[in-house]
Amino acid sequence: MTNETWPTEQQNPEIDNTEIEKPEPEIYKEARTQIEQYINNSQDNHEAIMKISDSLESFFKQIDRELLSDEQIEEIRISLLNCEKISDPKELANELSDIIKPLLDIKQNEQKKFEEIQARVMNETNGFKEINRLLSYGKDNDVIHIHAPAGKLVDNKFSLYRQGMRDLAKIISEDPEVKIITATSYLVAEHPGLFTLMGFEVRELSEEEKKEHFPNYPGKVARAEISREDFLKKFLKEK
């Protein structure tokens, strides 16, 4: 084999050794867009920052401290408040995005754990009681509303749903006030067969109902409903 030398920059001036910048992940773009919406829909910086701070507090309460320490949380809180004097909206959005980057890094790199946090936040914010990782419920007089927290990354979904229904049946059997069990969401619209298989009656929400209860969701939303008697007959003694 003959001796060869690798080309040098002088021999190949057309070679560009500049490091190629990787595109920003969608998670960070979406966060900046949401921050810009907060800014545009607020009367001043103080109002925008308070809205952002309030939205983060539920995450701070639920997040595991090995992912984000108390010191990091306090630093984020203080840094947000220190942005009030930034006059340029674009500069403000960039600075706020940089401040919450530790949270976005967790969402990007610890997606399963972050999804669990989202589920706990949803349940706490709305006053729902957790049945298991995929199911929670709320009660309004004689109606039980079933809810599905964030669970895209959860394994064994069908088994968890079935077990959750059994556990809910036991709860309902001990509460004679409950007469109706419902579930209303885009998931019902996407998987109506799953609910009819379990004995629910399913109907799509009208445009008027959607505007009242799901004003910002563009897709279809459906409601599943079953009576107390039919639900207990289906799930209470199921093994």
Burial class (CB in 10 A: 0-12, 13-18, 19+), 131: buried
Listed range (32-41, 45-54, 122-131, 149-158) with the worst mean pLDDT: 149-158
Residue 42 backbone dihedrals phi, psi, to 5 degrees: -115, 155
pTM, rounded to two decimals: 0.76
Q: Are 157 and 134 in contact (CB under 8 A)?
A: yes
Q: Terminus-to-terminus CA distance in the chain, angstroms?
A: 73
Q: What mean pLDDT value characterizes the chain? A: 90
Q: Which CATH architecture has domain 127-235?
A: 3-Layer(aba) Sandwich (3.40)
pLDDT tens, residue by residue, 15-36: 555 556 667 788 899 999 999 9
Of 101, 170, 182, which is closest to residue 137 (Cα–Cα)? 182
pLDDT of res. 19: 57
pLDDT of res. 17: 54
**Neighbour count for residue 215 (Cβ, 10 Å):** 7
- Residue ranges of E strands in 9-99: none
Please tell me whether residue 183 adopts helix, strand or coil conformation: strand
Q: Please give the Cα distance from 232 to 239 (Å, whole number).
A: 13
Alpha-carbon separation of residue 197 from 45, 98, 151, 200, 201 (angstroms) = 51, 47, 21, 7, 9
Q: How confident is the model at residue 115 (pLDDT cuts 50, 70, 90)?
A: very high
pLDDT tens, residue by residue, 53-70: 999 999 999 999 999 999
Residue ranges covered by each domain of the chain: 26-109, 127-235
What is the mean predicted confidence (pLDDT) over 193-211? 93
Tokens 């399913």, located at residue: 202
pLDDT of res. 38: 94
Q: Please give the Cα distance from 188 to 174 (Å, whole number).
A: 27
Of 93, 79, 91, which is closest to residue 29 (Cα–Cα)? 93
Tell me 205's DSSP state.
P
